Structures are given as structure tokens and as C-alpha cells.
Amino acid sequence: MSNTILVTGGAGFIGSNFIHYWLRRYPEDKVINLDLLTYAGNLDNLKDIENNSNYKFVHGDICDTNLVDDIVKEVNLIVHFAAESHVDRSIMNSADFIRSNVEGTRVLLDAARRHNIRFHHISTDEVFGDLGPNDPLFNESTPYNPRSPYSASKAASDYLVRAYFHTHKLPITISNCSNNYGPYQFPEKLIPLFVTNLIEGKKVPLYGDGQNIRDWLYVEDHCRAIDLIVHKGRIGETYCVGGGTEKTNLEITKAILKLMGASEDMIEYVKDRPGHDRRYAIDFSKIKNELDWEPQVKFEEGLAKTVNWYKENKKWWRRIKSGEYQKYYDKNMD
């Protein structure tokens, strides 16, 4: 049976990779992409499929109850990516994070409930808080301890999704993944910011002592995990999805510098992020044991592919960095 699936936030980094993945893997399925095109949404990510008759873009807000209801009644699956996603922005102003991440999820859940639609919610390992150097890795039973406005908003949305399962029997699953990297990532996040800065001959701003640790997951591996959860995951369950690649930010920076033939003089140590979590890392044994998933792309390979993608797609990120893209959409979209 073919699906009609609503992907929210499909013009963003992971959502656009997911739509490409899905239409390649399930060419018979129909995908509706609902995206507000905030600063992070970019239709250039989907240019190659804009004329695919199984793909439709709807410009709109997940907080818009009527619009969401109209779309949800046409679909049999929702994969929910849309969110404000950058920790640094949530520190400056958290209003949009509460609105899109919490209220937007609530609107989608109510529409899914009205039409009894299968709902997969994309969350983050940041909801678990900060790991000490000797703590066990995050898993599905780790208590929530969000410490940034971003992770607090994601934790709130996860709780809502679970509440709709327990209270209303809505068929949901949740995945909490670690830091993704790969093509189409907005150049405000560590890897694309550093790669594009170096191409432009600029220094790379490393926060604090550079010893914070993240667990890096290649975006295509993440898309495969979502595919398995959507098709074979147990309803009501959460799955932790990690890359099995813990690295300090300094290690990542040195790896990027090496790939780009740049010297360590290009590192600029800058003031730390307030409340900067020291370490995130995921134990992915549940999804491995239940769904036979594990990351396939080795970090060195994934990073090299990513660096090459940014080298080969300068027009894509130069439009973003110069503000040209945003100006175009502010003028041309309703």
C-alpha cells in the first residue's frame, strides 16, 4: 500500500534530506511538505524534486489549525520535523521556540487525533541534559533534564506526544537523535559554519575550551532509522538514535581543518555559550536490537562527503550567508 505522508519542516536540513530519501526509497508514495520557510527553511534544498508529481509543497505554519486539519485529513502518516532548532537563538529569544515547538506540535497532535493518523515525532538527545565524563550513555530510560530553552521546548513537545498516546491512544513513536551532519545544513551549526568560514578564508569560532562532546550522526543514517521506526517501530515507544561517534568540538575542528588544508591558526577561541552542555552521547542498542539499525557511514567518510558538498555547492550557502535568499522569499512568498 502506498502512503501519503505529511512531512513538517521539510525545507530544513533533516526534513529535506528525509524527503529526498523517502521519494528515492518509496517512489509510489506521496509527500506533502508543510513548511513556514523561516530563516532556516530553504526551497533550494528541494529544487530537483519540485516537479515530481508525488511531491507537493505547502507554505504555511504548523500552528495554523485550519490549514493543518485540511492537510492531515489527506494523509495517513505524519513525520514531524518542523521546529526552531538552534540552541544559540533560543538563548537570545525563546518565544518562537515555545510557539513552533510546543504549540505547533499540539496543533498537529490534535489534527492527528481528529483523523486518527500515525504520528512520528523527531526529537533530540538534548532533552536528557548533560553527561558527566563517566556517566552511562543516554538511553530511552534516562530521565529528562533539559537545560537550554531549545531543549526545554523539545522536552515539552515530547511529553505532549506521549500524553496523546496514553490519553487518546494516538498511534505515535518518538526518536531522540544526536547531532546530525551532512548536506543542506544551515551554516549556523558547527560543521557547516566552520567549513564555509574556511572556504571564505575566515576563522572558526570555537566556544570555551573546545572540549564539549557531541555524538555525530550522518543525516542519511538518521533518515534510515526514521524509516524503520515508522514501518516497524512499536507504537507508543521512543527510540534513541546515535552515531556512535563521540568527539570533542576541538577534534571536529581539527578534522575539518585537516580536510581543508587549513592551519590551526584559523581557530579562534571565543566566549562560551551560556549553560553550554558538556557532553551528549547515545546508547542506540534498543533500535539496534529491535529494528536492526546501526549507523553505516563512518565519521571520516561522512565528514569528507560533507566538506565536499559545501565546496561544490557554494551558491547554496552563499545565498544564505549573504541574506539574499531570505530577502527573495520575504518578497515573493505570501
- Which residues of this chain interact with ligand NAD, rule CB under 6 A? 8-9, 11-15, 34-38, 40-41, 61-63, 81-85, 100, 104, 122, 124, 154, 177, 179-180, 186
- Distance (Å, whole) CA 1 – CA 22: 15
Handedness of CA 145, 111, 12, 258 (dihedral sign): positive
**List 55, 150, 181, 280, catalytic entry:** 150
Which residues in this chain contact ligand TYD in the complex, by CB under 6 A? 87, 179, 189-190, 193, 205-207, 212, 214, 249, 273
Q: Smaller CB distance to ligand NAD: residue 34 or 303? A: 34
Q: Smaller CB distance to ligand TYD: residue 22 or 194? A: 194
**Residue 22 Cβ vs ligand TYD, minimum distance, rounded to whole Å:** 24
**Residue 334 Cβ vs ligand NAD, minimum distance, rounded to whole Å:** 14
- Distance (Å, whole) CA 126 – CA 259: 28
Amino acid identity for residue 196 in this structure: T
182-211: b (≥16 Cβ within 10 Å) or e? bbbbbbebbbbbbbbbbbeeeebebeeebe
**List 35, 44, 61, 125, catalytic entry:** 125
User: Taking the chain, what is the end-to-end CA distance rounded to the nearest angstrom?
Assistant: 35
**Residue 16 Cβ vs ligand NAD, minimum distance, rounded to whole Å:** 8
Which CA distances in Å does 146 have to 130, 152, 180, 276, 277?
Answer: 8, 5, 19, 12, 10
Active site residue 126: yes
**Residue 16 Cβ vs ligand TYD, minimum distance, rounded to whole Å:** 17
Strand 213-218 with 246-248, pairing: antiparallel
- Distance (Å, whole) CA 34 – CA 32: 6
- Distance (Å, whole) CA 22 – CA 9: 14
CB atoms within 10 A of CB 136: 10
Active site residue 26: no
Helices 314-322 and 190-199, packing angle to 10 deg: 100
Active site residue 269: no
Instruction: Give me the residue whose beta carbon is nearest to ligand NAD.
Output: 12
Q: Smaller CB distance to ligand TYD: residue 187 or 236? A: 187
**List 44, 126, 227, 283, catalytic entry:** 126
Q: Smaller CB distance to ligand TYD: residue 102 or 206? A: 206
Query: Which of ligand NAD, ligand TYD, none does residue 104 bind to, with CB < 5 to 8 Å depending on kind?
Result: ligand NAD
Of the CA atoms within 13 Å of residue 197, those in its CB half-sphere come to 20
Query: Which of ligand TYD, ligand NAD, none does residue 11 bind to, with CB < 5 to 8 Å depending on kind?
Result: ligand NAD
Query: Which of ligand NAD, ligand TYD, none does residue 138 bind to, with CB < 5 to 8 Å depending on kind?
Result: none
**Residue 168 Cβ vs ligand TYD, minimum distance, rounded to whole Å:** 31
Q: Smaller CB distance to ligand TYD: residue 7 or 256? A: 256
Residue numbers annotated as active site: 125-126, 150
